[in-house]
């Protein structure tokens, strides 16, 4: 590591006397994350996040990071990165957290395509972590391959909780869109709304990447991504799904609907779908609440969409039964009229 990368720690005595930097794990616009040893904790290896660029954040940004630490310390789950300690410095803040040896899914993605079994294992753990967050009324709001760490033993850890918020506590400035543009759901871009079902949409976008081996809209950046999403009505390239396993295709379809009410309504539902249990996953074309702007509406499911719904068969059966009943009654009336007419003729 060169001296420039060490400067952030070395220039701050409160950090340099306590932490021995091993390497840089990540360097972003607002700060740096280090792999370090905490000399005050018997040399425990930690991930040390330090906010460095005062121009890249304001009071609300610092408040979000403080909130990340508070929530991370209160909510414990084997698939969430554990938070250790918040450190207040003269000009910024830093905090230490669990160091996860291994790699994030984005780096692994560049090397190979994930198998169906790996996708199932990753999502089972990821959805378990999110279920725990959501049970505490906390949204992650920045789920992506880069923020999912895979340990050497196969355990995944959801990290980077800096954009988390509780349902009833908004920490972002009005009119400011936070999160990774490529993963933003329609309701957030258009109306600024974000809830559990928005996280389902993001999980669907990430699933698209994992099962197709293709990163979503990486050829675009910033506002260009938003412009593309709005222009295309948040549509996905359906031709990429032809060779995708039927189970994953159905989960994808259910996850990335334009209308939140058409998606899985919580991560527990999505988790059951990955396990292959619970209610049958109906193709989007069969769902009665379908909106004209739903993303998936393709030839892939044309054969299914053209089949009559069960409710239509029931109505047809009832109508046929009713018609047969009417015909029977008409027949009986005709028979009785003929019989009555015959008896009347004999009496004459």
CATH number of the domain that residue 267 is part of? 1.10.510.10
Told to judge if 142 belongs to the known catalytic residues of this protein, a careful annotator would answer yes
CATH number of the domain that residue 43 is part of? 3.30.200.20
Output the CA torsion 69→70→76→81 (10° steps): -10
Q: How many angstroms separate the CA atoms of 184 and 179, rounded? A: 7
Identify whether the C-beta of residue 17 lies closer than 8 Å to the C-beta of residue 38: no
Tens of pLDDT, residue by residue, the chain (348 residues): 444 555 566 667 778 889 999 998 877 766 788 999 999 999 999 999 887 766 555 667 667 777 767 777 788 899 998 888 888 777 777 888 899 998 899 988 888 888 999 999 999 999 999 999 999 888 888 899 989 999 988 899 998 764 445 454 444 444 445 567 888 899 988 888 889 999 999 999 999 999 988 888 877 777 888 888 888 888 877 677 888 899 999 999 899 999 999 999 999 999 999 988 654 444 443 333 333 333 333 222 333 233 333 344 556 666 777 778 778 887 777 777 676 566 545 555
Output the CA torsion 260→263→265→266 (10° steps): -110
Instruction: Give the phi and the psi of residue 37 in degrees, each rounded to 5.
Output: -105, 130
User: pTM for the whole thing?
Assistant: 0.70
Q: 259 and 163: one domain?
A: yes
Q: 299 and 336: one domain?
A: no
Strand partners, 139: 165
Domains identified in the chain, total number? 3
Q: 85 and 114: one domain?
A: no
Q: How many angstroms separate the CA atoms of 17 and 38, rounded? A: 10
Q: 245 and 284: one domain?
A: yes
What letter does residue 278 receive in the DSSP assignment? S
Q: How many angstroms separate the CA atoms of 144 and 68, rounded? A: 17
Strand partners, 86: 95
Q: 217 and 335: one domain?
A: no
Q: How many angstroms separate the CA atoms of 138 and 128, rounded? A: 14
Identify whether the C-beta of residue 234 lies closer than 8 Å to the C-beta of residue 258: yes
Q: 347 and 263: one domain?
A: no
Q: 151 and 73: one domain?
A: no
Q: 23 and 76: one domain?
A: yes
Q: 328 and 299: one domain?
A: no
Q: Which of 140, 163, 173 is nearest to 59 (CA)?
A: 173
Q: How many angstroms separate the CA atoms of 248 and 336, rounded? A: 63
Domain extent at residue 301:
105-305
Catalytic residue among 142, 243, 262, 339: 142
Q: 235 and 293: one domain?
A: yes
Q: 68 and 125: one domain?
A: no
Q: 335 and 263: one domain?
A: no
Cα separation values, 14 from 25, 32, 88, 239, Å: 20, 16, 9, 55
């Amino acid at each position: 590591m060169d001296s420039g990368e060490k400067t952030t720690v070395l220039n701050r005595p409160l950090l340099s006397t306590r932490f021995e930097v091993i390497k840089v794990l990540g360097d972003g616009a607002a700060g740096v994350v280090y792999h370090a040893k905490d000399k005050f904790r018997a040399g425990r290896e930690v991930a040390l996040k330090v906010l460095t660029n005062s121009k890249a954040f304001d009071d609300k940004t610092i408040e979000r990071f403080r909130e990340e630490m508070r929530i991370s310390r209160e909510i414990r789950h084997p698939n969430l990165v554990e938070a250790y300690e918040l450190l207040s410095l003269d000009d910024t803040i830093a905090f230490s957290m669990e160091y996860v040896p291994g790699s994030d899914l984005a780096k692994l993605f560049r090397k190979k395509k994930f198998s169906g079994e790996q996708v199932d294992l990753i999502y089972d753990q990821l959805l378990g972590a999110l279920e725990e967050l959501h049970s505490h009324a906390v949204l992650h709001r920045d789920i992506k391959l880069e923020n999912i760490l895979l340990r050497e033993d196969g355990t995944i850890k959801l990290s980077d909780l800096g954009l988390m918020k509780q349902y009833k506590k908004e920490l972002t400035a009005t009119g400011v869109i936070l999160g990774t543009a490529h993963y933003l759901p329609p309701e957030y871009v258009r109306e600024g709304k974000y809830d559990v079902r928005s996280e389902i949409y993001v999980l669907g976008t990430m699933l698209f990447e994992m099962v197709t081996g293709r990163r979503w809209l990486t050829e675009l950046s910033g506002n260009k991504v938003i412009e593309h999403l709005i222009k295309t009505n948040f549509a996905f390239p359906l031709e990429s799904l032809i060779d995708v396993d039927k189970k994953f295709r159905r989960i994808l379809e259910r996850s990335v609907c334009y209308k939140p009410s058409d998606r899985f309504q919580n991560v527990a539902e999505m988790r059951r779908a990955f396990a292959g249990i619970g209610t049958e996953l109906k193709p989007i074309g069969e769902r009665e609440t379908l909106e004209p702007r739903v993303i998936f509406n393709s030839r892939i499911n044309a054969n299914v969409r053209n089949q009559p719904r069960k409710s239509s068969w029931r109505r047809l059966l009832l109508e046929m039964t009713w018609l047969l009943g009417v015909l029977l009654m008409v027949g009986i009336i005709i028979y009785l009229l003929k019989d009555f007419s015959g008896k009347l003729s004999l009496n004459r």
